[in-house]
Structure formats: structure tokens, C-alpha cells
């Protein structure tokens, strides 16, 4: 763990002397990219962060939204990429643990987990399969043990992640507004560390996350202990109920160094602490190790002498250790002692505020060439193509994953995983809908439009349940930011997200930046991941059984936008082409119309078109309902295109709606009134998925056969190779 030479100079000039070794460690941890956001912070400010529902107070590690009637939800997103790439089980599990503590630190109970998983090509690559399987088990073991349902996520495979892993986890919390922790502290207050013991495990983790994998630090392996985390959650919430917490902070990257300096800095206080008071796993740990250890399942509490006894009783009840490690002082110094001896005594605004950088950026050379279309080999048997797509790892059902996650515990899950967004019921009678989405294939071809596409897709998923998007989380994952071309892709994505967020008035309520995601063969594709939260005041759309005679309406235009599509990449092995672009006005109109229709209870099912395009989206409705469908390609709204492009284009802003015959008129009225591009393109009947063009049958697939492949192929691939 070390500082860059100029950072060291900067530190020396700020404190006016040579730093001690402990100070160096503390500052190096806090000034690492992971903790300080030094490359990104200046730019992140462009995102809109406020809105009528956003509650922002100092010291929250998660975003807070007012959902009415005295209730709030909190949300946060994190990744654990580097640790998961070397120890997928523990890395993924402790990733869940970390994001849960962010939710907890606002004083809310975690009620849902999401996971976004990305690995190399599991069809060819045994290492990727091993990473995937173990990451899933890690998330399952951790979330299930906590009793927090994992209700959604996504899984994607792409060669750009070979020998690497992206493990993103998001969490949602819920609570009463009055119970939010109002972070404050007074001189003389006590600083308490509670939870797991501090050990040598995970030393240097945040530095590790900011280095590329080659310089891997083996001590950064963390062993998950969900049992302690569960006890920590219950103890914190009980202490909160007794009003014993003045300020609360979770320990994550940078360990005590970050938690103590950031708490002191945000509250404008000083903290004096003694490393001898910290409960440790092993004896003989050096103060530096104690300060930067990233041992899991720990929380920092500021309380006072009067409240301490009750706090200790609660910890005792749950058999978790809590140590008074220090107290609040006036001034702004972080004073670290071991017994009587001082090891660090440094101003917290120096520690907590790294020098922010203005990194150079330059448009990558590859981008112009890659958007050119290529002449593809014509396909004679599109039924076979669709079957291959349906069984492909990126499109096949993810049931093998989410059935390992307890997604029912907490008895809130109204719409379960496996559809678009999942929906939770809230205590005030409203419903919360959420989904995370990424699309590195599109982001690689066009970083700006790709990022916007992820945002719109997450919105679409939430809209399909009848929810209005009220907040967004972004997780920006890129390679080495010191490379101007990579930094350019970061900025482009960020600008795209900002434009979309502003146009739709969806505030960004939190996020995370993860840089230096480099695999042995180069940087990952730009991988922004967007989480969208939606609120439903009255009734969600719970998908109803599709019956013989129901109609299929398609909303939104299909365009010649197959760049980054599964059709180009999986079937034709072609990376490039025209990336789908979101037309903001059209997107808004379509969202609004779908929400109108759902509110009027005119839809039985609503599903968005994404990966695999219309062909896959329509097949998914057939397969989940075990019913056939007759579709007419000539009716598909949009540009004039060849059949394969109509089937597999991944244009945004498109929805498929299943409608009972008797409601067709009313539906059309609404759509016409809103001037939306739409058409009735099919009718459900029989047991075949059939796409016709005029009199020609272009695709003819048995629903049964397709469904079997869709449901089982991912699990088969993982378990039996």
C-alpha cells in the first residue's frame, strides 16, 4: 500500500512534516481510487442528485427516497470484482455483506438484494464456469442466511471478462422516516466498534481494488460470516429502536481508517482512538494493520456514556463483541494511539479529501471503424437460429441462479424473479419495483448510447410492472482510467446517463465507480450498470395467465439497430454495427402509455424487448405461459427491414403487451391518443411459436421444446459442463 510520489509531497505540504508510517497507511487507504474517487469525483457532480422524493442528509452511504406515509426506502450498489475474480465464493458473499451494511448504516432494515454477474464465455471456458458457479453459491449462502431476499439481477457472459469477474450487488432498505439515523456527535461522545473481530484478512483490499489484477495481494482474501452479519443487523436495529445511536458508519474499503476519518470529516469533529481497544482476531497486530484491515461484518457507532450500557447489553444478547475504541474530540484531528503512544495525529479533512484529478481523455481509435455494418452470411433456417439463441447462456432462463436464492423471505415479494422487474409490497400499501441492467456489448460499440440504453432498459423493466421510475443507481465499471481512451468512454457513459436522468427527472440516488478492471488480456468493455427503482401507488401488474385467443400488441418502433445484439455477436460472431439509440421523446411517450394501460388494468402481461429482440421476448411470453403464438412480421411497427433484423434487432423503447380480446378497443384508444407507434402483431393459440411473413412461415418452433431448452440449458451447462 503506497502513495504516488506527488501525493506524498502533497501530503507532506498539507501537514507540514513527515508523515508517520501509520499516517501513511491511513492516507494511502483513503486516497486510493476506491475510497477517494479521485479520478471520477469531479465529473460525477454532473448527475442530478436531487428531487422531490430524495432525502439527503450527511453521512449516508445509501440513497434515501421518501415513499410517503412516513416511510422511506434506501438503496445502494457496490461491486466486488477483484476479490471475486480470485475467490469467487468469498468475494461475492462479502460483496453482499458490504452493500447490506450501507443500507443498515442509514438505520433502515435491508429488504432486498440484487446481483449482476459477468464472466467469460462459460461455454468454452472452464475457469469462467468455476467463477460463475462459486459466485452464485457465495451470494446464495450469504443472502439466504441473512434472510434478505435476492429478488433480481442479471447474468451475462462475454469474452472480455475471461479470467475475471464482475460481481455487482445492490440492496434496498425500508424503514420509518423518523427512524433514520441523524448523524451527529458531540465532544465526549464515545466511538464504538461492533461486530466481527479485526484480523489480518483483507489487509489492503481497497488498494487491491484499485490495482489491476497482476499485482494481486493475497492477503486480501476475506472469509464471509453471514451469521455475524445477521446478528449485527438485529443488534443495530434494536439499538436504533432504543435511540442509542448518534452516528453510524459501516466499515468497508479502507477499514477503520476510512470509517473514522470520514465520520469525523462529515460531522466536523475530531476522534481520538486507541488501537489496543480494538477487538482483534490475533494478538500482535501492528497499529497500521488494525487501521487498514478490511475484516468484514463491522460497524462503527458514535454513542454517549449514558447510552453505552444499554448498547452493551444489546450486543451481549446477540453475542457480538463491541469495544469502545475512542471518543469524540473538538477540532478535526484523527488521533490514533496505542496505549499512551501516538501513531497518527492528522487532520481529517486532509485524510478524507484526496487531491482530485483531471484525467486526460481521448476518443478511442477503434470506435469509428466498429460502427460499420458487415455483410452477414444469410441464414436459411431461422427456427434453428431462434432455438440457438433461446438456449444460449445470455438468453436462457436464469432460474438456475435465482432458484438458489431465497426470494420469498420477508413475505414482500409480489412479483417474483424470472419476469422483468421484481415487485415488493411496502407497509404503506404501495409497491416498489426494481431492476438492474447493463449491456457491455452495446456500450463497447457506443459508450454513450449503450449507457443510455441500460438506463432505459431498467426503466422499461420497472414500467412493465406498472411502476413509475423514481430513482436511479449507477455503477460505472471501466478499465484503467490513466488510459485517456478508457477515460473517454467513462465520460461519455456518464454524460449519456446524465442527459437521460435530467430529461426524465429521475434523480441519481447513489452509485459507485469501479476502475482498473483489467483482465490478463486487457481492459473490460465499458460496463455501466444501472439500477432503477419504481413506485406503484395502487396495484402492480402481476402477470396473468395468457389464454387462447389473447392478442399480442407491440408498442414502439423496430429499427436497423443490431450492433451489440446477441444475434450479431452470438450467431454471427460479429462485434460491431449500429448501436441502438434511445429517442428520448418516443421513450417517454411509450413509458407513459404503458403505465396508463396498466393503471386502467387493460393488460394481462407486459414484457419489454431486450436481448434477442422481438423473437426472444415473444417466445418468453409463450414459454412462461406454455402457449403458442401466431405472429405477423409485416405488422411489426418501424422501418422496413429484412425478417432477421425485425426478429432480432435490439431497438429500445419497445414493449409487448398481452391483451384480452374484449379490451383491444380501449387499448387502441389510449395508444392512439398518446400518438404511440403500435400494432397488433399476433394472437396466442396452439402450441407453436410461429412467425409469419405474409403467407410464409419464417419460424416454427414447438413451445414445449423451446421451453425445455430455455429453462434447463444454463443449469446443464454449469453442472454437467
Partner 1 sequence: MKVGVVVFPGSNCDRDMFHVLTDVFKLDAQYFWHEKGLPKNIDAVILPGGFSYGDRLRAGVIAAHSPVIADVQKMAKKGIPILGVCNGFQILVESGLLPGVLLKNTSLNFMCEWTNLIVENNKTPFTSQFKLYQKIPIPIANGEGRYYVDDDSLKQLKKNNQIVFRYENVVNGSTDRIAGVCNEDGNVVGMMPHPERAVESEINPIDNKPSSLIFESLLSSMGVTH
Partner 2 sequence: MATFSVHVTIENKPGISDPEGDTILNDLVLKGTHKNISKIKTAKMLKFTIQEKDKKTAEKKIQEICDELRIYNPMVSKVTIDVFE
Ligand X SMILES: Nc1ncnc2c1ncn2[C@@H]1O[C@H](COP(=O)(O)OP(=O)(O)O)[C@@H](O)[C@H]1O
Write out the catalytic residue numbers.
34, 80
Interacting residue with Mg ion among 25, 144, 198, 461 (CB under 5 A): 461
C-alpha cell at 497: 446517463
Binding residues for partner 1 restricted to 413-442, rule: CB under 8 A:
413-414, 416, 425
Radius of gyration of the chain measured on its C-alpha atoms? 26
Q: Can you tell me which of 91, 138, 252, 417 binds ligand X, judged by CB under 6 A? A: 417
CA angle, corner 541, sides to 535 and 544, nearest 5?
160
C-alpha dist (Å) from residue 502 to 29, 33, 77: 34, 27, 21
CA angle centred on 620, ends 474 and 169, rounded to 5°:
25
| Chosen from Mg ion, ligand X, partner 1, none, partner binding at 319 (C-beta under 5 to 8 Å by type) | partner 1
- Asked whether position 130 contacts partner 1 by CB under 8 A, the answer is no
Give me the 527-546 binding string for partner 1, x by CB under 8 A, dash otherwise.
---------------x----
Find the shortest distance in angstroms from Cβ 320 to partner 2. 11
Contact characters 410-449, Mg ion, x per CB under 5 A:
----------x-----------------------------
Q: Is 141 in the site for partner 2 (CB under 8 A)?
A: no
Tell which one of 23, 33, 420, 650 touches ligand X (CB under 6 A): 420
What span, in angstroms and rounded, lies between the C-alpha atoms of 594 and 678? 11
Binding partner at 152 among partner 2, ligand X, partner 1, none, C-beta below 5 to 8 Å by kind: ligand X
State how far the Cα of 164 lies from the Cα of 236, in Å rounded to an integer.
Answer: 35
Q: How far apart are CA 509 and CA 154, in angstroms?
A: 21
**Residue 417 interaction partner, one of partner 2, Mg ion, ligand X, none, beta carbon < 5-8 Å per kind:** ligand X
Q: Which residues contact 499 (CB under 8 A, 6 or more apart)?
A: 452, 584
Residue (270 or 613) nearer to ligand X, CB: 613
- Which residue of 153, 254, 556, 682 would you call a contact of ligand X, by CB under 6 A? 153
Q: Stretches 71-79, 216-224, 243-251, 392-400: which one binds partner 2 (CB under 8 A)? A: 216-224
Cβ neighbours of 544 (radius 10 Å): 13
Question: Which one of the spans 166-174, 410-418, 586-594, 635-643 is the region binding partner 1 (CB under 8 A)?
Answer: 410-418
Residue from 298, 359, 398, 412 binding partner 1 (CB under 8 A): 412
Size of the residue set binding partner 2 (CB under 8 A): 22
Dihedral, 473, 145, 157, 524 alpha carbons, nearest 10: 50
Q: Is 623 in the site for ligand X (CB under 6 A)?
A: no
Separation of first and last alpha carbons in the chain: 40
With helix as H, strand as E and coil as C, how does 381-443 read?
CHHHHHHHHHCCCCCCCCHHHHCCCCCCCCCCEEECCCCCCEEEECCCCCEEEEEEEECHHHH
Residue of the chain from 41, 200, 425, 683 that contacts partner 2 (CB under 8 A):
200
**Does residue number 479 form part of the binding site for ligand X (CB under 6 A)?**
no
| Binds 403: which of partner 1, ligand X, partner 2, none (CB < 5-8 Å by kind) | partner 1
CA 441, 446, 451, 452 torsion-angle sign? negative
Does position 310 interact with partner 1 (CB under 8 A)? The reply is no
| C-alpha of 262 from chain center | 24
Whether the CB-CB separation of 92 and 414 falls below 8 Å is answered with no
**C-alpha cell read off for 691:** 412467425
Contact call for residue 566 and ligand X (CB under 6 A): no
State the sign of the Cα–Cα–Cα–Cα dihedral 279, 280, 282, 287: negative
CB 475 within 8 A of CB 511: yes
* Residue 115 binds partner 1, judged by CB under 8 A: no
Q: Which residues pair with 66 in a beta bridge?
A: 72
Give the range of 72-80, 314-322, 500-508, 690-698 binding partner 1 by CB under 8 A: 314-322
Write down the residue that cell numbers 434515501 correspond to: 64
168 binds Mg ion (CB under 5 A): no
Smallest gap from residue 487 Cβ to partner 1 (A): 41
In 3D space, the residue among 612, 660, 655 whose CA is nearest the CA of residue 636 turns out to be: 655
Min separation Cβ 365 and ligand X, Å: 32
Ranges within 261-300 binding partner 2 (CB under 8 A): 281-282
Pick 293 or 587: Cβ nearer Mg ion = 587
Which of 168, 225, 265, 449 forms a contact with partner 1 (CB under 8 A)? 225
Bridge partners for 156 per DSSP:
118
Q: Which of 86, 192, 390, 401 binds ligand X (CB under 6 A)?
A: 401
Residues that bind partner 2 (CB under 8 A): 86-87, 89-90, 130, 134, 199-201, 218, 221, 223-225, 227-228, 281-282, 319, 719-721
Residues that bind ligand X (CB under 6 A): 115, 117, 150, 152-155, 398, 401-402, 405, 417-420, 422, 437, 461, 610-611
Amino acid at each position: 500500500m503506497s502513495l504516488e510520489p506527488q501525493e506524498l509531497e502533497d501530503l507532506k505540504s498539507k501537514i507540514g512534516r513527515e508523515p508517520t508510517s501509520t499516517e501513511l497507511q491511513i492516507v494511502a487507504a483513503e486516497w486510493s481510487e476506491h475510497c477517494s474517487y479521485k479520478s471520477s469525483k469531479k465529473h460525477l457532480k454532473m448527475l442530478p442528485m436531487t428531487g422531490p422524493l430524495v432525502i439527503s442528509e450527511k453521512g449516508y452511504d445509501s440513497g434515501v427516497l421518501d415513499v410517503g406515509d412516513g416511510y422511506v426506502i434506501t438503496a445502494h450498489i457496490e461491486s466486488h470484482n477483484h476479490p471475486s475474480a480470485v475467490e469467487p465464493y468469498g468475494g461475492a458473499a462479502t460483496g453482499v455483506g458490504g452493500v447490506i451494511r450501507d443500507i443498515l448504516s442509514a438505520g433502515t432494515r435491508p429488504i432486498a438484494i440484487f446481483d449482476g454477474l459477468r464472466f467469460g464465455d462459460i461455454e468454452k471456458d472452464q475457469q469462467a464456469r468455476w467463477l460463475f458457479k462459486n459466485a452464485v453459491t457465495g451470494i446464495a449462502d450469504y443472502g439466504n442466511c441473512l434472510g434478505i431476499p435476492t429478488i433480481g439481477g442479471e447474468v451475462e457472459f462475454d469474452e472480455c471478462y475471461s479470467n475475471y469477474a464482475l460481481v455487482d450487488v445492490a440492496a434496498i432498505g425500508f424503514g420509518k422516516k423518523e427512524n433514520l439515523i441523524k448523524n451527529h456527535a458531540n465532544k465526549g461522545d464515545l466511538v464504538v466498534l461492533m461486530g466481527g473481530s479485526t484480523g489480518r484478512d483483507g489487509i489492503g483490499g481497497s488498494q487491491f481494488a484499485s490495482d489491476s489484477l497482476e499485482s494481486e495481494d493475497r492477503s486480501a482474501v476475506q472469509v464471509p460470516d453471514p451469521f455475524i452479519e445477521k446478528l449485527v443487523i438485529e443488534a443495530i436495529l434494536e439499538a436504533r429502536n432504543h435511540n442509542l445511536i448518534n452516528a453510524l458508519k459501516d466499515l468497508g474499503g479502507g477499514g477503520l481508517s476510512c470509517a473514522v476519518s470520514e465520520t469525523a470529516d462529515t460531522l466536523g469533529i475530531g476522534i481520538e482512538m486507541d488501537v489496543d481497544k480494538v477487538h482483534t482476531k490475533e494478538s500482535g497486530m501492528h497499529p497500521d494493520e488494525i487501521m487498514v484491515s478490511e475484516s468484514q461484518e463491522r460497524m462503527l457507532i458514535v454513542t454517549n456514556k449514558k447510552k453505552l450500557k444499554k448498547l452493551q447489553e444489546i450486543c451481549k444478547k446477540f453475542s457480538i463483541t463491541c469495544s469502545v475504541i475512542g471518543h469524540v474530540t473538538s477540532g478535526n484531528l484523527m488521533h490514533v494511539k496505542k496505549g499512551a503512544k501516538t501513531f497518527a495525529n492528522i487532520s481529517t479533512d486532509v485524510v478524507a479529501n484526496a487531491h482530485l484529478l483531471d484525467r486526460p481523455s481521448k476518443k478511442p481509435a477503434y470506435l469509428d471503424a466498429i460502427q460499420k455494418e458487415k455483410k452477414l452470411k444469410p441464414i436459411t433456417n431461422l427456427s434453428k437460429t431462434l432455438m440457438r439463441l433461446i438456449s444460449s447462456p445470455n438468453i436462457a432462463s436464469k432460474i438456475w441462479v435465482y432458484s438458489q436464492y431465497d426470494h420469498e423471505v420477508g413475505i414482500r415479494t409480489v412479483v417474483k424473479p424470472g419476469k422483468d422487474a421484481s415487485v415488493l409490497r411496502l407497509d404503506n400499501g404501495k409497491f416498489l419495483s426494481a431492476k438492474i441492467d447493463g449491456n457491455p456489448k452495446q456500450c463497447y460499440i457506443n459508450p454513450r448510447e449503450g449507457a443510455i440504453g441500460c438506463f432505459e432498459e431498467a426503466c422499461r423493466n420497472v414500467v412493465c410492472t406498472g411502476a413509475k421510475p423514481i430513482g436511479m443507481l449507477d455503477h460505472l465499471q471501466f478499465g484503467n482510467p490513466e488510459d485517456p481512451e478508457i477515460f473517454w468512454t467513462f465520460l461519455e457513459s456518464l454524460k449519456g446517463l446524465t442527459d437521460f436522468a435530467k430529461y426524465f427527472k429521475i434523480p441519481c440516488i447513489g452509485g459507485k465507480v469501479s476502475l482498473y478492471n483489467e483482465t490478463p488480456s486487457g481492459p473490460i468493455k465499458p460496463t455501466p450498470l444501472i439500477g432503477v427503482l419504481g413506485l406503484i401507488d395502487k396495484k402492480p401488474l402481476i402477470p396473468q395467465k395468457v389464454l387462447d385467443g389473447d392478442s399480442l400488441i407491440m408498442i414502439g418502433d423496430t429499427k436497423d439497430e443490431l450492433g451489440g445484439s446477441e444475434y450479431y455477436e452470438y450467431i454471427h460472431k460479429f462485434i460491431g454495427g449500429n448501436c441502438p439509440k434511445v429517442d428520448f421523446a418516443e421513450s417517454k411517450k411509450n413509458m407513459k402509455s404503458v403505465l396508463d394501460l396498466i393503471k386502467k388494468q387493460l393488460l394481462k402481461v407486459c414484457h419489454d424487448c431486450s436481448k434477442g429482440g422481438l423473437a426472444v421476448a415473444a417466445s418468453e411470453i409463450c414459454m412462461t405461459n406454455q402457449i403458442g403464438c401466431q405472429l405477423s412480421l409485416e405488422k411489426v411497427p418501424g422501418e422496413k427491414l429484412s425478417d432477421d433484423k425485425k426478429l432480432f434487432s435490439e431497438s429500445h423503447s419497445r414493449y409487448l403487451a398481452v391483451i384480452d380480446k374484449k379490451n383491444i378497443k380501449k387499448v387502441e384508444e389510449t395508444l392512439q391518443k398518446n400518438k404511440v407507434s403500435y400494432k397488433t402483431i399476433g394472437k396466442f393459440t396452439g402450441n407453436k411459436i410461429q412467425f409469419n411473413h405474409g403467407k410464409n412461415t419464417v419460424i416454427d418452433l414447438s413451445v414445449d421444446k423451446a421451453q425445455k431448452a430455455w429453462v434447463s440449458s444454463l443449469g446443464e451447462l454449469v453442472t454437467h459442463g
